Amino acid sequence: MTTVSVNEIALGIESFGADDAPLVLLVGGTTMLSWPDALCERLAAGGRRVVRYDLRDSGESTTADPEAPAYTLRDLAADAAALADALGAAPAHLAGIGVGGMVAQVAALDHPGAFSALTLVGTRAVAPGPPDDDLPDHDRATMGRLFARPMPDWTDRAEVAEFAATGAEVLGDDPVAAHAIAARIWDRTPGTAAPVQLANQLGMVFSRLDCAPRWRERLPEIGVPALVVHGRRDPFFPVGNGAAIAREIPRARLLVLEEAATAIPDAAVGEVAEAMLALGRGTAGAAVRGGASRPSHG
């Protein structure tokens, strides 16, 4: 792992594959570890240069005040475009997961020349907070269980990992995988700001980021091939959110992972990797707009 300087900050990155291969740039849901190692490796084996990176205030990227960020979603989108340029690989295939998917949507709209394809995983087309009336909101019962848990001691590695595991179990994700990833996040979260930064990375305070202005109405402007991946069992951003994005981006394909919740499970890595590689080859757009896997609701 290393860092790259863009927009007067440093972004922590990790690369897979040959440096001269077409770039797939992965925007994490704050931390790069939102993207499974196995998926990065499969994309690299498919002839891509894969770079995943930490957003500001997470991992090895520049940390200022994670609890009260002085930047906006559009600044994070500008970071993605600048990073693709700094890596010498623009236009790049841009992919975002969770909140990173919001960053990726805005980046594709604000910096259209920087990206050749767009993959959005487990996200929605409006900022954190109450969604539009036609979009399904977080499952209330699940959120009640998720946020009723006592906060861990963020300076205690074991407590943080267990907190992530119990949260994954509530959401329907793999608790063993979540435990391991949280421990890795803890290990690479430096400095005295670590407790707040860790809370931010596990989704506790990211909603404080200013995500204005709205971008949903601009989605039809996206002109690059797009793939929308969503877990059928996602209670955080229910699948209707992904379906709405796929409807509104011209010729987008919707891939619903029937057994997935918020994370990409190991069993789905091959399917997601092949869909992303096909998008890069320009073949995914051959599907009916929204894809054959479009759910009936949303």
At residue 288 the predicted structure's pLDDT band, cuts being 50, 70 and 90, is: very low
Cβ 111 vs Cβ 103: under 8 Å: no
Read off the pLDDT of residues 212-252 as tens digits, 9 standing for 90 and up.
789 999 999 999 999 999 999 999 999 999 999 999 999 99
138 within a domain of the structure (yes/no) = no
96 within a domain of the structure (yes/no) = yes
159 within a domain of the structure (yes/no) = no
177 within a domain of the structure (yes/no) = no
122 within a domain of the structure (yes/no) = yes
Q: Show Cβ contacts of residue 262 under 8 Å, excluding neighbours closer than 6 positions.
A: 98, 122, 171, 172, 173, 231, 234, 235, 236, 237
Q: Please report the pLDDT score of residue 201 as a whole number.
A: 67
Q: Please report the pLDDT score of residue 296 as a whole number.
A: 31
26 within a domain of the structure (yes/no) = yes
Token pair 């949507």 is at which residue? 105
CATH classification at residue 98: 3.40.50.1820
Read off the pLDDT of residues 138-174 as tens digits, 9 standing for 90 and up.
999 999 999 999 999 988 999 999 999 999 999 999 9
Read off the pLDDT of residues 25-65 as tens digits, 9 standing for 90 and up.
999 988 899 999 999 999 999 999 999 999 998 888 988 87
Token pair 């421990």 is at which residue? 183
Number of domains in the chain: 1
- In the three-class reduction of DSSP (H, G, I as helix; E, B as strand; rest coil), residue 121 is classed as strand
204 within a domain of the structure (yes/no) = yes
pLDDT exceeds cutoff 90 at 74: yes
Domain ranges, residue 276: 2-132+190-286
297 within a domain of the structure (yes/no) = no
Cβ 80 vs Cβ 55: under 8 Å: no
